[in-house]
Structure 1
């Protein structure tokens, strides 16, 4: 039985899979060079991959750009990602950022989470990183939203924005089938500890009756070590013990000795 004719694109793919990169490149090149070829974008991506495997970085980038300018929702996005990764491998962050932005510009939802996370990784400043992480979280991709929330929450807590960090983590935990739930919950607990420390410290600063003040001092002093702030905890105890309010100082002394 005679063999059924196959599309050159399929032939090129089979050649590439069998290791005949030169043969595949020849076919992909011809298809990618024809503006009227309906599979031009796909062929250009195939050519970019083959040339990359052959070590022809410049040729691979040229082929990827050919696919990118077609605006094809799938293969233009793939081409932008290929370009971006190629630039990242050579430590060319400006070009990589531009390529990831191009991936966003194609508008294919499947590539948005990856592009936003890459832009967060390549961000030139904290604000730019936060914006990219928020955009990645907003995609609600189970894995990428989790990573974005973790990175964003850590940045926010470094800035003293524990409440906002908690909101970010809760948003991530609401994503269907979100990855790394245990890590998200640990970070949420840490954010709550930071909030608790701020509230306890506020209570100490406001003063008030001795029993409440001593309780706030104890809670703050016992919570701070959970955040690795042992020296701060010692200062809080000392603040209470040295208080001119004798009732407060005695209550703090009792609380300190009770936990010894």
Structure 2
């Protein structure tokens, strides 16, 4: 062994061995470092060991190493270890264990990892059919992303939260949320947020068209509102509702309004 190799930090040597495909050699070095309570890089070594063991196919050994790293409470590497555990459990479909590991990420409290954990908890809540928990987690992810300066995660949380609000019929709140998100979103997230904002505006437009009819607009305005509502609803996949709106207009007791609606529908033929 050359003098330069002797001077190379063990973590760097382990990393080089892993990159070269010598997982056994890397694991041997990392195991020794992770087992030494006086080793200043113990937490980092344990995380590295978890990664190497997982690549080697030793899932249980990888989890044991990750738990050892988590137990150190290191703000960076304990958080990484909890993320490693959580992602592994999710891949295996073990939702409850994954939820516990993501909660452990929150327990470590490192700001950079909080948005990821909240987004993951929201994902698990959606899979479990708990929209209330998902909404809470997404609001926390949005706040955590903004606090950590993680614009990408904040935009992702805003996008998902807006989707939940739209499904619940709260288009106004969704639009406000999306406008705020667009002001700080990274360029890659802007197109999707704009599309969602457009959807929110379509929903708001439908509500206004329906309200105009319900408020007893004059025949011309009422017929226009009915046409606009009937032509907008299919854009939201609501063809059956659109048909009912046309029927409402055609059968309206105000014969002048019904005639106006008939003319407007006739423009399709």
Q: Is the shorter-chain TM-score for this pair beyond 0.5, marking a shared fold? A: yes
SS state at 2:37 partner: coil
**Which of 157, 160, 163 matches 1:151?**
160
Equivalents in 1 of 2:234, 2:186: separation in Å? 33
Establish whether residue 136 from structure 1 lines up as the match of residue 150 from structure 2.
Answer: no
* Pairs aligned (count): 260
Establish whether residue 44 from structure 1 lines up as the match of residue 46 from structure 2.
Answer: yes
**Which of 232, 236, 241 matches 2:241?**
232
**Which of 13, 17, 29 matches 2:19?**
17
- Return 5+ residue gaps in structure 2 as ranges: none
Change (3 A) 1:205 1:16: same
**Which of 253, 256, 261 matches 1:244?**
253
Establish whether residue 207 from structure 1 lines up as the match of residue 216 from structure 2.
Answer: yes
Contact 1:207 1:213 in 2 (8 A): yes
CA deviation vs aligned residue, 1:151-185 (integer Å, no higher than 9, x gap): 22222211111112212222221224242312211
Contact 1:146 1:178 in 2 (8 A): no
- Return 5+ residue gaps in structure 1 as ranges: none
SS state at 1:26 partner: helix
Instruction: Give the deviation of 1:40 after TM superposition.
Output: 0.9
Q: Name whichever of 190-199 and 216-225 sits farther off.
A: 216-225
Change (3 A) 1:195 1:156: same
Establish whether residue 186 from structure 1 lines up as the match of residue 183 from structure 2.
Answer: no
Establish whether residue 216 from structure 1 lines up as the match of residue 225 from structure 2.
Answer: yes
Counterpart residue number, 2:62: 60
Q: TM-score, normalised by structure 2?
A: 0.88
Establish whether residue 195 from structure 1 lines up as the match of residue 204 from structure 2.
Answer: yes
Equivalents in 2 of 1:74, 1:58: separation in Å? 22
Instruction: Give the deviation of 1:120 after TM superposition.
Output: 1.5
CA-atom RMSD, angstroms? 2.0
SS state at 2:135 partner: helix
Contact 1:44 1:63 in 2 (8 A): yes
